[in-house]
Amino acid sequence: MRDRKLIFFGTDGVRGSIDNEVNPESVLKLGHAAGRHFKKRGINTLVIGKDTRISGYMLESALQAGIISSGVNVRLVGPMPTPAISYLVSTFKGHAGVVISASHNSFEDNGIKFFDENGEKLSIENEREIEKFAEEAYEFVHPENLGKAARISDAKGRYIEFCKNTLSDDISFSGLTLVIDSANGAAYEVAPKVFKELGAEVYSIADSPNGLNINKDCGSTNIDFLKDEVLSKNADFGIALDGDGDRLIIIDSNGQELDGDDILYVIAKNKFESKIHLGVKGVVGTLMTNKGLEKAFNDEGIELVRSDVGDKYVLQKLNELNWTLGGEQSGHILCLDKSNTGDGIIAAIQFLQSIVVLNKTIPELLSEFKKYPQILTNVKVKDGNKVLKNKKLQKAQKKSEELLETFDGRVLIRKSGTEHKIRIMVESNSQEATSEQSALLTDLVESIS
C-alpha cells in the first residue's frame, strides 16, 4: 500500500491523484484542519462545491466529516463552478467556501480549493496554518458541538442571475451565435443557461458528464472539438471552459484560438478606451504573459505589471495596486469590478460585451497585438525540485538566455504547482531561435528527469 502522506498546498489549493495524495484519509485530515482554521477566524459554516469527477462524492463525504468534527457547519451545493462558490460565500455572513476539483486535470486526479469569507482564495499564511493543524493530533469537539450539514437548494439560480447582472443593461447578445463547451465539468448546467438568457443562440457541447469524461477531448485544454463545431455551426464564437469553470479559451468564427492574453487585450481595450475611465490604466499579467502583449499595452499607454504564475498571485498584485483587470495566458481572467475571483463565464461575458461595444472584428482588434513566438513544453518528472537544482540544466538555461538576448528573448523554467511536471517557456522575436532553444532545454530536462 502507498504511503498516505498529508497533502500540501501548491499554486492553486491542493491537488493530486486520488489513489495517492488526495485520498479520503488525507482529505478528512485537511477538512478537520480547515475547520479549526476557520473557526479560529469566527467562521461557523463552509459551503462545499465540487466538479463532476467520480471521486467527488467520496471526497465530499470525507471533507464534510472532517469539517463537522471540528465543530463547523457545512452547506452542500453539488456540482458548481469554482467561482460560484466564491460568489455564494460572499453573500452569506460567517461563511467561507471549499471546492473539490482538480480543474483541468483528468478524472484520476482531484483537489481542494478554499475561499475566505470575502470569496477570495486563501493567503499563503492561512494555507500554512491549515497545514500545521493537519500535522497535529485531531481535536474533536464534544458531540453537542458537532457541526451540522444542510443543502442550499437555490445555488445555481443565484449564480446564474449574478453572472447575467455583470452585463451592462444596454447590451444584449441577441444576434450572436455561440458554442459553449463546458468540458463535461462543473459549469455544464449553468453556462449554457447564462448565455441563452442573455439573448444568444447557444449550441451546448461537452455537457453530459459521467464522472470519467471531465476535460476528456474537450474544454479549454483540447479545443479541436469546439473548433469543428464553431465552423460547422457558422457560429460567431466558441467558449471553452475548464473542468471547474474558472478559466476559458475562445474560438472566433474563423476557427482561430484566442488565449488568455488575447482575451485580456480585448477586454482592456474596451475598458480603457472609455472616455469616462479615470485613474491608472493598468493590467496585471504573469511571468508567462507574452512580451508582445506588454509592448501592445505600452503603445496604448497601458501599464502591465507581472506577478508569479497563479491566479491567486494575480489577485494579490491587483489588490496591492488597487487595479481591477488581470489574468493568465492559460485563461484565468480576473475582472474585479465584476467578481472577486477568476470566472470563465464572467470573463466571456466581458469579452463579448467588448466585441459588441467596440464593433470591430477580431483581426481588426488584434492588429496591434503582435505576439512573440513562444513555446511552452511540459515534462513529467518525479522530483521537480531536484531537476531545477541540476547544475547542467542551470548552466544550459543561462547560456540560452544569453543567446536570446539578441532577439529580446527570455527563458522560464519552473515546477508546476498543480502537476508533477516541469514547465519550460522559451520566447523571443525569432521563431528559429525560440524553437532551437526550446528543443535543447526540453531534451535536457527529459534526460535528467
Catalytic residue list: 103
CB atoms within 10 A of CB 323: 20
Give CA–CA dist 159/329, Å, rounded: 25
Q: Find the helix packing angle between 260-273 and 291-299, rounded to 10°.
A: 10
Give CA–CA dist 158/81, Å, rounded: 13
C-alpha cell at 43: 467562521
Place of cell 467520480: 54
SS3 229: helix
Q: Find the helix packing angle between 24-40 and 56-69, rounded to 10°.
A: 40
Give CA–CA dist 77/81, Å, rounded: 10
Give CA–CA dist 121/316, Å, rounded: 10
Q: In sequence order, what E strands does 80-231 have?
A: 95-100, 109-115, 149-151, 177-181, 201-205
Give CA–CA dist 117/58, Å, rounded: 26
Residue type, 374: Q
C-alpha cell at 153: 437548494
- 432 by Cβ neighbours in 10 Å (0-12 / 13-18 / 19+) ranks as exposed
Ordered DSSP codes for 337-396: TT-SS--HHHHHHHHHHHHHHHT--HHHHTTT--PPPEEEEEEE-S-HHHHHT-HHHHHH
With beta carbons less than 8 A apart as the criterion, state whether 86 and 97 touch.
Answer: yes
CB atoms within 10 A of CB 385: 8
With beta carbons less than 8 A apart as the criterion, state whether 190 and 209 touch.
Answer: no
φ and ψ at residue 56, rounded to 5 degrees: -60, -40
- 20 by Cβ neighbours in 10 Å (0-12 / 13-18 / 19+) ranks as middle
What's the N-to-C CA distance of the chain in angstroms?
25
Nearest to residue 239, comparing CAs of 287, 203, 270? 203
